């Protein structure tokens, strides 16, 4: 791979396809084709989409006919789908082709492409089956392909989202998968390595999106552009922080009577926040692995509720002991009741934060939004409001 192609790969993996396109647009058509063909299909398509119209047309015109046709076909599909990752089909033959003829034809094809399977298609390009190299090499040369092929070959739909495809191939681990259209016509191939690479890049971007960082932002991004991308989320975070402050303001009289409670507000907020982040991380991790499928949401929420309750009991006991020691040292008359309030508030807060960590990404996904986008901002608000409200509310009710 050339140094330019390495730079392009780094740019696109960091979601800066526009930067990669800027490096290519002034090159000749042949040079652009050479560099783009060294990228995986998905990365090449991202760069092509960012090229100016004139440069894109120049590159497509200079590409070999099968590559140009595949670029145009791949561009019809949305990012994040199998169709976006397709390679041209090399090694497809009619069902009446003889094994000996196919082997001779493959001697030429393998010099310009990596061929793993031979695909059997009819005259309308419908996928009928596939032949493994082992079956091809050890079958009599006079036999027809439809006599040695595996029928009902597993194939991916071109418009299928990558996450759904990953769920289907998780237990198969084939090196390459045929891609078909809605009429089961063979229109491309997608390699398992390409799929896992694309999914791995997507997972690495979740950490930033959880706190409102956009996918296209990187270290080299201009500070003005970074400010535009980040600042709206910080303003949203400020609004949610005011909401938590408003909850505390509702119990101002309680805090005035028992100032000691103010010492334990950050303790509850911190513990419940960590519990929520753990549940959120598990939920976000489960989505790319297709663990959160229809019918599993309720059991998942029940599980995180129960785990949150047990965690709350454990840390609640420790926090209650801390409150009792602190209240006793300050000469408080109701040290036992203060400790009991902290214990109950910790359990309720950990349960609520665990539920929030599971529900927030599920809700965003149901609304058609990125489940990882600014999740931690909403989670922080939920945990702060619940933990502080529980502590101060219980103290207001139970301690006179």
Which residues does residue 98 pair with via DSSP β-bridges, in sequence order?
144
Extract the residue ranges of the chain whose pLDDT is less than 50. Answer: 1-3, 5-6, 9-15, 207-214, 216-217
Q: Given this model, what pLDDT does residue 369 score?
A: 62
Q: Given this model, what pLDDT does residue 225 score?
A: 64
Q: Given this model, what pLDDT does residue 358 score?
A: 79
Q: How many CB atoms lie within 10 A of CB 333?
A: 9
Give the model confidence (pLDDT) of 339-372 as tens digits.
999 999 999 888 888 888 878 777 777 776 666 5
Spatial separation of the C-alpha atoms in residues 369 and 227, rounded to whole Å: 22
Q: Given this model, what pLDDT does residue 223 score?
A: 64
Residue 255 three-state SS: helix
Q: If we measure between CA atoms, which residue out of 239, 248, 298, 275 comes closest to residue 379?
A: 275
The encoded tokens of residue 156 equal: 């991916």
Q: Given this model, what pLDDT does residue 214 score?
A: 47
Give the model confidence (pLDDT) of 261-291 as tens digits.
888 888 888 888 888 887 777 777 666 555 5
Residue 130 three-state SS: strand
Q: Given this model, what pLDDT does residue 88 score?
A: 83
Spatial separation of the C-alpha atoms in residues 229 and 232, rounded to whole Å: 7
Domains identified in the chain and CATH numbers:
3-76 (no CATH), 92-204 (3.10.580.10), 216-398 (1.10.357.20)
Q: Given this model, what pLDDT does residue 340 score?
A: 92
Structure-derived torsion over alpha carbons of residues 211, 214, 219, 224, reported in degrees to the nearest 10: -100
For residues 147 and 138, is the Cβ–Cβ distance under 8 A? no
- Can you say whether the dihedral through the CA atoms of 248, 249, 252, 254 is positive or negative? negative
């Amino acid at each position: 791979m050339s140094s330019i192609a390495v730079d392009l790969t780094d740019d696109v993996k960091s979601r800066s396809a526009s930067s990669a396109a800027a490096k290519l647009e002034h090159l000749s058509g042949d040079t652009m084709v050479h560099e783009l063909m060294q990228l995986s299909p998905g990365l090449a398509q991202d760069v092509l989409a960012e090229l100016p119209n004139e440069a894109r047309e120049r590159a497509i015109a200079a590409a070999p006919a099968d590559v140009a046709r595949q670029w145009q076909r791949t561009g019809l599909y949305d990012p994040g789908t199998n169709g976006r990752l397709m390679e041209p089909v090399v090694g497809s033959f009619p069902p009446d082709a003889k094994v000996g003829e196919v082997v001779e034809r493959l001697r030429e094809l393998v010099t310009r492409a990596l061929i793993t399977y031979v695909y059997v298609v009819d005259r309308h390009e419908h996928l009928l089956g596939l032949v493994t190299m082992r079956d091809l090499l050890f079958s009599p040369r006079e036999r027809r392909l439809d006599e040695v092929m595996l029928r009902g070959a597993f194939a991916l739909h071109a418009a299928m989202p990558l996450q759904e495809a990953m769920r289907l191939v998780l237990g198969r681990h084939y090196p390459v998968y045929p891609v078909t259209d809605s009429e089961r016509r063979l229109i491309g191939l997608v390699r398992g390595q390409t799929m896992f690479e694309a999914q791995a890049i997507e997972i690495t971007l979740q950490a930033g999106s959880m706190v409102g960082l956009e996918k296209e932002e990187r270290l080299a991004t201009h500070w003005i552009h970074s400010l535009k991308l980040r600042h709206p989320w910080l303003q949203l975070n400020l609004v949610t922080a005011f909401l938590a402050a408003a909850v505390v303001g509702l119990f101002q009289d309680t805090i005035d009577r028992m100032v000691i409670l103010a010492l334990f507000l950050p303790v509850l907020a911190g513990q419940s926040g960590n519990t929520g982040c753990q549940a959120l991380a598990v939920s976000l991790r489960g989505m790319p692995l297709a663990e959160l499928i229809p019918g599993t949401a309720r059991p998942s929420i029940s599980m995180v509720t129960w785990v949150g309750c047990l965690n709350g009991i454990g840390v609640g006991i420790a926090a209650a002991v801390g409150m009792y020691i602190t209240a006793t040292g300050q000469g408080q008359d109701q040290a036992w009741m203060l400790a009991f309030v902290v214990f109950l508030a910790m359990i309720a807060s950990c349960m609520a934060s665990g539920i929030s960590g599971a529900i927030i990404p599920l809700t965003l996904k149901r609304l058609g939004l990125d489940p990882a986008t600014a999740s931690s901002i909403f989670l922080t608000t939920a945990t702060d409001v619940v933990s502080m409200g529980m502590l101060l509310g219980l103290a207001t009710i139970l301690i006179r």
